[in-house]
A and B are shown apart, each in its own frame.
Chain A
Amino acid sequence: MDPPRPFLSACDPALGWAFGCSRTGASHIRSSRPCEDAFAVWSGSSGAIPCIAIAIADGHGDPRHDQSRTGSALAVQAAVDELIGFHRMHMHTIPRHILRSEFRADFPRRVTRRWRDYVQVDVGQREITLSPAGNAGNNGYTRYGSTLIAALIVGDTILIGQIGDGDVVLVRPDGTVECPIPCDTQLMGMETQSLSSRDAHLLWRTATLDRGAGGFLIAATDGVSDSFDGSEGPEFLKFVKSLVDRVNEFGIESVAWSMKGWLDRYSELASGDDMTLVFVSINPVEGEDKPQPGQNGTGEDDVLSTEGW
């Protein structure tokens, strides 16, 4: 049996390079609980237009969400499947500016529905119940509750969607730091919005950005920012910028290899939570999108990496 891989990656020569790393939290290890985070990175193309899709999910740890480990794995799968479908459906048929509004309008509803479909299949396959007896507050998906962050880099656009906690940060080449989806100031204590929430499709927050000069997109579950000073905290953003500095100095693959140890250390010393981080190095736009070398007009060439199954 192969040893566990320290990271998973996906690459597109035109768009950039993505890797992800997920680690079981120190407090989970102490209490013999599994990692409830999941992530997926995917690169491929459709009709000669390449894209990179990423997703991270954090299953809720509370006992009422006892299938959240599966819930988070299904969430990243649903996100990547939906992003790929969105890409294939819209890239050739609608103008770019409509693409962004379509994403904001459709993606939350579609990915939530797809996740729920996947949960239903899992329930059927494993012969478990969605609503445990005596849990009156359960809306049917509570046991699988999970957050989800998904992003698609395609053409001159970066599309991002988020439900629940976690962080997305974009560092531009000039060092400018953007938090395209501000943290949800309504959340209190250990609560988070969830795919399992009754009106989950209304709880999504989305952002559409110009790819422009490119940069580095970092998505992380809340265990990472909680190891510093929380979402959008100066110490957390300093950590994010230090990652970018290290990538610039030592290369992205070197950072990817080191990530496992860093996340383990932060979890041990600080939050204790599961830690998942996806890092995307996004190339700058060079003129208009053109078919890339080695890609024909009809072929589809995919690489999907997922962790959390």
Chain B
Amino acid sequence: MRGKKIATLNQAIREAIPEVQKAVAAYPEVEIFMRAIRFSDDAAWHVGPDPVPVAEFTWPELETSGLTATGKALRLLADELSIERMPRRGLPPVCILVSDGFCTDPSEEYDNAIAELAKIPWGVKAVRLAIAIGDESDYNEPELLKFVNQDQIGLLKAHSPEELVSYIKWASVSASVASSRGRSRSTGSIDDISNVALESPPPMITSNTELF
């Protein structure tokens, strides 16, 4: 990812943070911590692995070039969501995958990482959303959909800077608020995927002149 896409992403995340802080202020009992993974030729922590309280979170400028190691990034995520590294009790994490290209890792590596997420408890309970940037021929929709566990939301497709900013804000704010509303429930329900009910994403009306 480069150029206008990465610049917009950096700006969108910076604009989203205060909105997340404002939205979850209604839930003072909830503490939100942030982490971020960047991936290109390889995957590494951009912020973390130690989580940062949202009130202290600042977004370091992200620059990427090269390949799209989505599989390695998801493996890093799955390792961090393991029960050994996460508190057992608490509200579900929110994971947002943002990509503008095909995964360049072997498909087996990508699928194994997805399978790991589907196996570990916090991987299952996390709110997992994906935002695809650019033209639909630029990325692999079925591949990104494997990450998403909110069927009613599907893949969020940002065709323009305006849509990317809007989806980043919606995904981070809406998912954080929905997660913060989590309440106790009995185990064993057959529809037991997540403790979170997300509202629909905002409708998008984009002018053709502003496409990525």
Contacts and interface: CB of A to CB of B under 8 A. Distances in A.
Interface of A: 26-27, 30, 58, 60-65, 136-137, 142, 145, 165, 185, 187-194, 196-198, 222, 226, 230, 270-273
B91 A190 contact: yes
B29 A192 contact: no
Given A188-B121, A189-B90, A190-B195, A271 B29 contact: yes
B116 to A, nearest CB: 16
A193 B187 CA distance: 6
Interface string B181-199: 0111111111110010000
8 contacts: A60-B184, A188-B121, A188-B122, A191-B184, A191-B195, A222-B184, A230-B89, A272-B29
Contacts of A191: 184-187, 195
Contacts of B30: 272
Contacts of A198: 188
Given A64-B189, A165-B184, 6 more contacts: A60-B184, A64-B185, A188-B89, A191-B195, A197-B188, A230-B89
Contact of A65 (B122, B185, B188, B191): B185
A192 B185 contact: yes
Nearest to B126: A189
Contacts of B91: 189-190
> In the complex, which of the residues B26, B87, B183 has the most CB atoms of chain A within 10 Å of its own CB atom?
B183
A27 B186 contact: no
A187 B187 contact: yes
A138 B125 CA distance: 20
A272 B183 contact: no
Given A187-B88, A190-B183, A136 B190 contact: yes
A61 B91 CA distance: 13
A185 B186 contact: no
Contacts of B88: 185, 187-188
A189 B127 CA distance: 12
Given A226-B89, A230-B89, A192 B27 contact: no
B121 to A, nearest CB: 5
Nearest to A64: B185
B208 to A, nearest CB: 42
Contact of A27 (B27, B188, B195): B27
B3 interface: no
Interface in B113-156: 121-122, 125
> In the complex, which of the residues A26, A62, A198 has the most CB atoms of chain B within 10 Å of its own CB atom?
A62
Contact of B186 (A136, A189, A194, A273): A194
Contacts of A187: 88-89, 187
Interface of B: 26-30, 83, 87-92, 121-122, 125, 182-192, 195
A193 B189 CA distance: 11
A60 B186 contact: yes
Contacts of A188: 83, 88-89, 121-122, 125
Contact of B190 (A26, A137, A194, A273): A137
Contacts of A190: 89-92, 182-185, 195
B192 to A, nearest CB: 8
Nearest to A270: B29
A187 B89 CA distance: 8
A189 B28 CA distance: 18
B145 to A, nearest CB: 24
Nearest to A203: B187
> In the complex, which of the residues B185, B189, B192 has the most CB atoms of chain A within 10 Å of its own CB atom?
B185
Nearest to A165: B184
Contacts of A27: 27, 29
Contacts of A65: 185-186
Nearest to B88: A188
Given A58-B184, A62-B183, A197-B187, A189 B195 contact: yes
A309 to B, nearest CB: 21
Contact of A189 (B27, B29, B92, B191): B92
Contacts of A64: 185, 189
Contacts of A230: 87, 89
B185 A145 contact: yes
Contact of A61 (B184, B191, B192): B184
B185 A62 contact: yes
A187 B90 CA distance: 10
Contacts of A58: 184
> In the complex, which of the residues B28, B29, B92 has the most CB atoms of chain A within 10 Å of its own CB atom?
B29
